[in-house]
A and B are shown apart, each in its own frame.
Chain A
Amino acid sequence: MTPLIEVRDLHFQYEDGTKALDGVNFTLNAGETVAVFGANGSGKTTFVLHLNGILGGQGSVTVCGIPVNKETLARVRSKVGVVFQDSDEQLFMPTVLEDVAFGPLNLGLSPEQAIAKAKTALQQAGMEHALGKAPYHLSAGEKRRVALAGVLAMQPEILVLDEPTTFLDPPAQRNLLHLLAGLPQGKLIVTHHTRFAASLATRAVFFEKGKLVADGPVAEIVQRFDWIYPALDAADLRYSAQRRF
């Protein structure tokens, strides 16, 4: 069976000389949800921006059997839906309906078809009541749902979510978790939220200085890299304070 995503020996360097990806190999199979962990600046976001051709490095990226290059961008972008960290960057049309229909219209659908897709996606995201609202009037959780609906309306086979829990309060995180768990697409979730990842992901990968250094079960990766919020007691905090001052 063809993997949903296959990345081989991917290298990328920004114009200022920063080496962001250094020989990354990765595979996402159908039905899988993979958590992407790593420190800030380790190359996670740069990596996901290669999956629908926003960035193009050296090496090969294949999506649903289609090699990502200039000629295949439209097809690739209909397969990979990226939900960005800051929903405000994604929502820019005057109304929620117009924003969610933006992607389907770009794929060449008629206005009627785009509206139908947008309404279905909004229903899926539990935001059908907001279709006439202006995006800037929504709460952070609602904006995230609308941003997700905007991607779902394009009916992608793969969902890529960059820090989906950012700006969300715990109830909104819980709602998002339930929503994502019910979606059949293969998912790639870039996050620092290990509990959120553990609830959804079947496996995890870990980035370090542009390299994908580990791939395995979420619990194993979290433990191996000590990738969990520290529970410091009073003695620890006193020790840290003494060291600093």
Chain B
Amino acid sequence: MHHVLMDQWSQGASPLHKRDPRAKILALAAFLIVLATTAPNAFLTLVIDAVVLVAGILIAGLPLASLLLRAMAVLPFSLTFGLISWLAGDQLRALGLVEKSYLSTVAVLLVVGTTPLPLLLSGLEALGTPRLLVLVAQFLYRYLFVVSEQAQHIRLAAACRQGIERRRRSGFRAAAGALAVLFARSYYRAEGIHRAMTARAFSGKFALLRRLQFGWADGMFTLAIAAFLILVRIQ
């Protein structure tokens, strides 16, 4: 499962993993702002941005090919809008959409892949993200496991009863029914999880084993990344 893999990646011990989540979030924000303001035909800037990301992936010890492949999940969306822009005669905009969405996704995956989610969300909260939003994100992430697990169970049960002959129409009907059941079952499962959390005195705030510590190395990291990206951008 995608999110299980990201969880495993985030447990590493590289210099990037060790940075305070706030430092990584701020560096990501700088990267995204620089990228958003870069012209789609500023190829040298975009190549340097990509090199920064690849260097980050290698320093973090994350599997380069796997991460780049996963970032392609955004392409169906950006290619669709890119195609519309292309057909409307705006080729530059189309190119920019695809380039920037892909590089942004790689950057986000790099940060998520080097920061355990509870720490990442605490970092976001410490930077002023509303608590409710952080809590929703935390539950959303937790329940992804629930929904995917339930979906796998339903798929397996359906496959066991599919028989030899496969009919497209009945297959669609079964998939639609399974989807409805998936929602209902996930809902009840999620209720159970919340109940178990409440039973262990959960009161709406995820406490962390590790305290957030923004040291000078974190400050230098953020400043260096932001300064380098801005320098490349304005050159």
A→B interface (CB under 8 Å): 49, 52, 54, 74, 77-78, 81-82, 84, 86, 88-90, 92-95, 97-98, 101-103, 105-107, 111, 114-115, 134, 136, 150-151, 154
Contacts and interface: CB of A to CB of B under 8 A. Distances in A.
A128 to B, nearest CB: 16
Interface of B: 4, 7-8, 10-11, 116-118, 142, 145, 149, 189, 192-193, 195-203, 207-211
A54 B202 CA distance: 11
19 contacts: A84-B192, A84-B196, A84-B199, A86-B192, A90-B193, A92-B197, A94-B7, A94-B10, A94-B118, A101-B209, A102-B200, A102-B202, A105-B207, A105-B209, A106-B202, A111-B208, A134-B7, A136-B145, A151-B200
User: Chain A interface mostly helix, strand, loop or mixed?
Assistant: helix
A114 B210 CA distance: 11
A101 B196 CA distance: 14
Nearest to A48: B199
Contacts of A95: 11
A54 B209 contact: no
Nearest to B149: A88
Contacts of A92: 142, 145, 193, 197
Contacts of B189: 89
A86 B10 CA distance: 27
Nearest to B7: A94
Nearest to B1: A136
B192 A154 contact: no
B201 A78 contact: yes
Contacts of B209: 97-98, 101, 105, 111, 114-115
Closest 6 CB pairs of A and B: A105-B207, A106-B201, A103-B200, A89-B192, A90-B196, A82-B199
A88 B149 CA distance: 11
Nearest to B141: A92
Contacts of B211: 111
Contacts of A77: 198-201
